[in-house]
Amino acid sequence: MIGSTLERRPARRADSSAPRRPGRAGRTDRPGILWAAPALLFFGVFALFPIVLVAWLSLTEWSGLGDPVFVGLDNWLALPQDPEAPGAVWSTVRLTVLCWAVQTPLALLLGVWAAGQQRNRAVLSALFFLPLLLSTAAIALLGHSMFDPNFGLAEVVGPLVGVPDGNFLGNSDLALYMVIGVLTWQFVPFHALIYQAAARQIPRMLYEAAAIDGAGRFRRFLSITLPQLRHTIVASSVLILVGSLTYFETVLLLTGGGPGTASRVLPLHMYIQGFRAFEMGDASVLAVLLVAVGTLLSVLVVRVTGYSRMTSEREGL
């Protein structure tokens, strides 16, 4: 679609004005394949090529030693027999849905608030955005020490919230929620930043007009801010949903997927299959699935929400 609009443009321009230098007529001034080459090369070497390689590895038996042995679809057919796979899928679904459901409202409210003009806003926003500056590994390790039942904050806070022994990470019913909590703390600032930038773009005249019409603060948020942020919500949601399929280091460092397999999500299961059990073929099957699901999910969200139609948010202004 983008291609077609671009192609029309030079023709129109040639009609209307600006005579061209001879010899450089037509579509030559349009960014060509050469312009895209660096990005394409990068994408090809670091994204496409590995994906093809992994797809091929999923058809082999390989422990990392020696050469991969081609086994056809054996690894794919063995997937239903993997006793840990259903649990890992379920954990991943819960993690994805909950991450989205918790992070979106928090980030939205925080972002919209941070876009305002209140006193102390700049200082408080800077504090809220602090987790953005920390590396994922540092945050996970921090979380791990905080949840230590004997020497961490968990020992103090646990009794207050009904976990007298501070056993958060070692409790099968809680472990995944602790992971979600840490992920939320880490990623809400990023999404709040996106919402803040988008909320600042909303024309003030909309609010002024609504205020004249007698709309209260809540009404203005519901009828102006939210609809105006529609595309931002979609973009942030895609990032959260697809991102949830890649959360791995946080889980590894926080719970190791445990206790048992209570918080073993698919990416971690893939890692364990690949680099602990050295079943590279089985791990590659999971990798291919994750790529497919991630792509499908983002296409689906974009289609369902109408984001792909690229219509303006500013109609009538």
Q: How far is the CB of 262 from other proteins (least distance, A)?
A: 8
Nearest C-alpha neighbor of 151 from the set 166, 172, 163, 170:
166
Q: Stretches 12-20, 68-76, 130-138, 270-278: which one binds other proteins (CB under 8 A)?
A: 270-278
- Closer residue to other proteins (CB): 32 or 227: 32
170 binds other proteins (CB under 8 A): yes
CA atoms within 13 A on the CB side of 210: 16
Q: How far is the CB of 77 from other proteins (least distance, A)?
A: 16
Judged by CB under 8 A, the number of residues near other proteins is 44
Q: Stretches 163-171, 218-226, 232-240, 284-292: which one binds other proteins (CB under 8 A)?
A: 163-171
Q: Which residue has the tokens 């918080």?
A: 263
- Closer residue to other proteins (CB): 130 or 277: 277
Rounded alpha-carbon distances, angstroms, from residue 48 to 6, 239, 270, 294: 26, 20, 19, 15
149 binds other proteins (CB under 8 A): yes
Q: Is the dihedral of CA 193, 196, 200, 202 positive or negative?
A: positive
Please report, as residue ranges, which positions from 48 to 77 form the binding site for other proteins (by CB under 8 A): 48-49, 63-66
278 binds other proteins (CB under 8 A): yes
Joined tokens for residue 111: 């972002």
165 binds other proteins (CB under 8 A): yes
Strand partners, 60: 70
Q: Which of 41, 77, 132, 211 binds other proteins (CB under 8 A)?
A: 41
Q: Give Cα 212 to chain centroid, integer Å.
A: 39
Alpha carbon dihedral 287, 288, 289, 292, in 10-degree steps, equals: 120
Site string for other proteins, 230-259 (x = CB under 8 A): -------------------------xx-xx
Site string for other proteins, 189-208 (x = CB under 8 A): --------------------
Q: Which of 11, 40, 93, 126 binds other proteins (CB under 8 A)?
A: 40
Joined tokens for residue 73: 């679809």
CA atoms within 13 A on the CB side of 248: 12
8 binds other proteins (CB under 8 A): no
260: left (phi over 0), alpha (psi -120 to 50) or beta: left
Which DSSP category does 277 fall into? S
Work out the angle between the directed axes of helices 175-200 and 230-244 (0-180°, nearest 10). 150
108 Cβ contact list (under 8 Å, min separation 6): 191, 192, 195, 229, 233
- Closer residue to other proteins (CB): 240 or 252: 252
Preceding omega of 189 cis (within 30 degrees of 0): no
Q: Which of 11, 14, 25, 37 binds other proteins (CB under 8 A)?
A: 37
Q: Stretches 8-16, 18-26, 124-132, 165-173: which one binds other proteins (CB under 8 A)?
A: 165-173
Which residues are near other proteins by CB under 8 A? 3, 33, 37, 40-41, 44-45, 48-49, 63-66, 83-84, 144-145, 147-151, 154, 165-172, 255-256, 258-261, 272-273, 275-279
